[in-house]
């Protein structure tokens, strides 16, 4: 993943790839499915004629005849799938994975031009290099660098790293002098993250220098159409109207913005520039507290305008403008939100960033893939009603009533699969003298503290279905060190025990509880989190949630889906009494066994033929319904769904 071992401005350092492994429970099951289904199945798509990703490299290498297929940034999507495969290998050590990747890497190296250029769409079509930023060349470069660094760290091989270095050297040669004609490139900022990671891997300072140049270039040029921008929106859409250090608002394409912020966080981790972190703190607050859904999703609209009246796509709207049925919430954007927060967690050591990582992981990220691991959502609304929207003319299926087996714009599926493959690396961080527990679930950690001493522990928990977390020390140094335990912001009351006794530490929601002592093998930490059902409300400025509620248990957001309603009842007919009592139960007949919620709601027919009509007096019927986790919806046929429901106050 990202290697902050030697980053001077990081409080919580990253653990090594594969140091934490899921052993049982929620994420262990997801990782197993990722290993056995998600990554192999996606490989058949991308290496075959449907996904055509590997074919593009073969054609560019002269090994196959044909035309480029997929969007211009499809190389980057293929690299993300390769990255996911490396994470799987880091855990299972299956040599067949590396053999397959070596074969692919050899083809990619053949496709690379002598000067280091690599971008199959442009190479196959004969387009001039770096002539127009709409081709997303930097996006492909960034994912090439990240995947190559991860591959090198896990395998020790340099075959892919050599390709990345050759390409990065070309970028440095072209962009370091900062010629005017290239000044507006780099808007799809995965290359900033990738260059910083390449610097961390090779220690070549040129790559960090170039990463910062790409940050500094934003907001320097007049926001006008020119030959390098034709065919793609300008201004706030690509975060080029205001320099990052002066920006106060998250604007434009949500993925571009959050990749930009994540890249800037990576650069700050190395440079410590105060203006950068001040800007990132402002932008984090704007996203988290004014433009983020209850599921952790971001990017409210497919099409719209920024507050500065620039056309935007797949991005941020005004503060508190949070539509539900038309919410776009691209899976990539939601994941980018978690990526940004993971970096901010390292820099700040503030558990609220881990709260958002977790919120995204269980809700707005995981909803992007089906229960069978083979179908995908690109956009993720919080409400879907039959007859309200039709998606029939959407050629690339970015908005769909059901998950799709393949999406022409294939950026989200491999992004999600690589996130599931690597999320164990988010579970722990290293402090200056100890370890921080960021995420919960059955896992085993075997790593080294920053002083080089060994630490082994394991975690037993039925989280997120249950709130009991037990951590057992298996091996450690004799000298005292600290263990930080995240107390989620939603955990109003919890208990923390050490070897069965009260820890004596301050426990406050939204912080890390710090336990510093001399530990020994066999010592235990027991965290008991309250997994109470909570009825959530939105900020009063959010018009679409006025007098409505969403249901949340721990990190999980629940929804109402039409398969769990009486026949003939629609989600629009359902109202939640404010005193509703919801009972948890494990339903083995629902998606292999998940915890659902059952309770009595009020139902009234709400069929209308006109836009407006008198309210009349409702005739209520009481009925029992079942709520399922939001991530699990749309696995039981074409269904209506809603996260927010109107409240009847008692």
pLDDT tens per residue across span 110-126: 999 999 999 999 999 99
User: Coil, strand, or helix at residue 479?
Assistant: coil
623 vs 607: CA distance, rounded Å? 18
- Average of per-residue pLDDT values in the chain: 96
Cα Rg for the chain, rounded, in angstroms?
Answer: 24
**Position with higher pLDDT, 397 vs 139:** 139
| Integer Cα distance of 432 and 10 in angstroms | 10
Q: How far, in Å, CA of 257 to CA of 313, rounded?
A: 12
In the chain, what percentage of residues exceed pLDDT 70? 99
User: Strands, DSSP E only, in 222-265?
Assistant: none
Tokens 């298996």 -> residue: 474
For residue 394, the model assigns a pLDDT of 52
Q: Which of 42-51, 129-138, 280-289, 587-596 is predicted with the least confidence, judged by mean pLDDT? A: 587-596
Q: Can you give the pLDDT at residue 617?
A: 85
The residue behind tokens 């530490």 is: 505
Q: Which residues pair with 454 in a beta bridge?
A: 448
**Alpha-carbon distance 626 to 596, whole Å?**
7
Give CA–CA dist 519/542, Å, rounded: 48
- Residue 392 predicted with pLDDT over 80: no
Q: What is the pLDDT of residues 465-512, one digit of tens each?
A: 999 999 999 999 999 999 999 999 999 999 999 999 998 888 999 999
Cβ atoms of residues 80 and 143 within 8 Å: yes
The alpha carbon dihedral of 255, 73, 140, 218 has a sign of negative
Residues 6+ apart with CB under 8 A from 342: 2, 353, 357, 426
CA-to-CA distance for 382 and 642, rounded, in angstroms?
6
- Give me the mean pLDDT over the 247-265 stretch: 98
Q: Which residue has the tokens 């309770």?
A: 599
Q: pLDDT at position 385, please?
A: 93
Q: Which residues contact 393 (CB under 8 A, 6 or more apart)?
A: none
3-state secondary structure of 560: strand
With a cut of 80, say whether residue 235 has pLDDT above it.
yes
Cβ(632)–Cβ(371) below 8 Å = yes
| Widest CA span in the chain | 76
Q: Can you tell me the mean pLDDT for 3-7?
A: 97
Q: Half-sphere exposure of residue 411, counting CA atoms within 13 Å on the CB side?
A: 24
Q: Are 436 and 484 in contact (CB under 8 A)?
A: yes
- In a 13 Å sphere around the CA of 30, the CA atoms on its Cβ side amount to 26
Q: What percent of the chain has pLDDT over 90?
A: 92
Q: What is the b/e burial string over 619-628, where b = at least 16 CB atoms within 10 angstroms of the residue's CB?
A: eeeeeebbbb
Section 40-61 average pLDDT: 98
Q: Does position 22 have pLDDT exceeding 60, yes or no?
A: yes
- The whole-angstrom separation of Cα 535 and Cα 68 is 50
Measure the CA–CA gap between 85 and 102, rounded to whole angstroms: 12
C-beta neighbour count of 424 within 10 angstroms:
26
Judged against a pLDDT cut of 90, whether residue 396 lies above it is answered with no
Rounded distance, CA 383 to CA 294, Å?
13
Question: Residue 187 — pLDDT band, cuts 50, 70, 90?
Answer: confident
Beta strand segments in 510-642, E: 511-517, 524-528, 533-536, 548-553, 556-561, 574-577, 583-587, 594-603, 621-629, 641-642
Predicted confidence at residue 467, as pLDDT, reads 97
Q: How far apart are CA 193 and CA 76, in angstroms?
A: 13
Q: What is the mean pLDDT of residues 241-247?
A: 97
Q: Give the per-residue pLDDT at 614.
A: 86
Residue 409 in this model has a pLDDT that exceeds 90: yes
- Return the pLDDT at 31: 98
Query: What count of other Cβ atoms lies within 10 Å of the Cβ of residue 432?
Result: 12
Question: Please, are residues 294 and 383 in contact by the beta-carbon 8 Å criterion?
Answer: no
């Amino acid at each position: 993943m990202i290697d902050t071992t030697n980053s001077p401005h990081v409080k919580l350092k990253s653990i090594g790839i594969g140091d934490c492994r899921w052993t049982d429970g929620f994420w262990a099951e997801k990782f197993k499915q990722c290993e056995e289904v998600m990554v192999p199945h996606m490989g058949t798509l991308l290496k075959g004629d449907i996904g055509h990703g590997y074919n593009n490299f073969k054609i560019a290498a002269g090994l196959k005849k044909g035309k480029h297929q997929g969007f211009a940034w499809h190389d980057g999507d293929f690299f993300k799938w390769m990255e996911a495969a490396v994470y799987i290998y880091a855990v299972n050590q299956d040599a067949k994975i590396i053999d397959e990747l070596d074969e692919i890497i050899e083809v990619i190296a053949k496709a690379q031009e002598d000067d280091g250029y690599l971008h199959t769409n442009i190479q196959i079509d004969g387009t001039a290099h770096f002539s127009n930023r709409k081709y997303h060349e930097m996006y492909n470069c960034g994912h090439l660098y990240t995947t190559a660094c991860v591959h090198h760290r896990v395998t020790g091989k340099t075959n892919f790293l050599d390709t990345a270095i050759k390409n990065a050297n070309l970028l440095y040669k072209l962009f370091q002098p900062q010629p005017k004609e290239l000044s507006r490139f780099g808007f799809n900022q995965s290359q900033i993250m990738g260059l910083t990671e390449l610097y961390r891997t090779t220690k070549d300072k040129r790559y960090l220098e170039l990463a910062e140049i790409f940050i500094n270039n934003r907001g320097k040029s007049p926001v006008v159409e020119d030959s390098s921008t034709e065919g793609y929106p300008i201004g706030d859409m690509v975060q080029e109207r205001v320099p990052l250090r002066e920006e106060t608002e998250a604007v434009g394409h949500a993925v571009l913005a959050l990749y930009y912020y994540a890249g800037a966080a990576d650069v700050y981790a190395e440079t410590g520039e105060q203006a950068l972190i001040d800007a990132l703190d402002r932008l984090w607050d704007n996203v988290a507290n004014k433009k983020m859904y209850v599921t952790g999703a971001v990017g409210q609209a497919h099409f719209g305008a920024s507050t500065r009246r620039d056309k935007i796509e797949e991005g941020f709207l005004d503060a508190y403008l949070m539509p539900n049925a038309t919410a776009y919430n691209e899976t990539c954007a939601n994941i980018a939100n978690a990526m940004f927060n993971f970096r901010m967690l390292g820099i700040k050591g503030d558990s609220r960033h881990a709260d958002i990582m977790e919120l995204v992981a269980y809700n707005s990220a995981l909803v992007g893939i089906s229960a069978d691991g083979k179908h995908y959502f690109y956009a993720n609304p919080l409400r879907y009603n039959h007859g309200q929207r039709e998606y029939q003319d959407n050629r690339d299926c970015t908005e769909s009533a059901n998950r799709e087996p393949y999406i022409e714009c294939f950026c989200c599926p491999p992004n999600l699969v690589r996130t599931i493959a690597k999320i164990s690396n988010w579970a722990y961080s290293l402090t200056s003298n100890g370890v921080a527990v960021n995420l919960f679930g059955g896992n085993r950690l075997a790593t080294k503290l920053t002083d080089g001493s060994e630490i082994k522990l394991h975690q037993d928990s039925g989280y997120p279905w249950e709130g009991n977390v037990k951590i057992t020390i298996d091996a450690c140094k004799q000298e005292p060190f600290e263990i930080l335990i995240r107390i989620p912001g939603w955990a109003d009351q919890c208990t923390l025990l050490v070897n069965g006794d009260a820890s004596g530490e301050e426990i406050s929601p939204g912080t890390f509880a710090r336990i510093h002592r001399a530990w020994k093998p066999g010592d235990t930490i027991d965290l008991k989190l309250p997994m109470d059902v909570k009825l959530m409300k939105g900020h009063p400025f959010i018009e679409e949630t006025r007098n409505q509620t969403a249901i949340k248990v721990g990190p999980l957001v629940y929804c109402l889906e039409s398969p769990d309603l009486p026949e003939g009842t629609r989600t629009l007919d359902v109202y939640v009494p404010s005193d509703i009592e919801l009972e948890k139960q494990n339903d083995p007949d629902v998606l292999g066994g998940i915890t659902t919620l059952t309770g009595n709601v009020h139902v009234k027919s709400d069929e209308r033929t006109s836009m407006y009509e008198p309210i009349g007096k409702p005739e209520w019927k009481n009925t029992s319904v079942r709520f399922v986790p939001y991530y699990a919806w749309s696995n039981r046929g074409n269904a209506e769904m809603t996260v927010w429901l109107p409240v009847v106050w008692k």
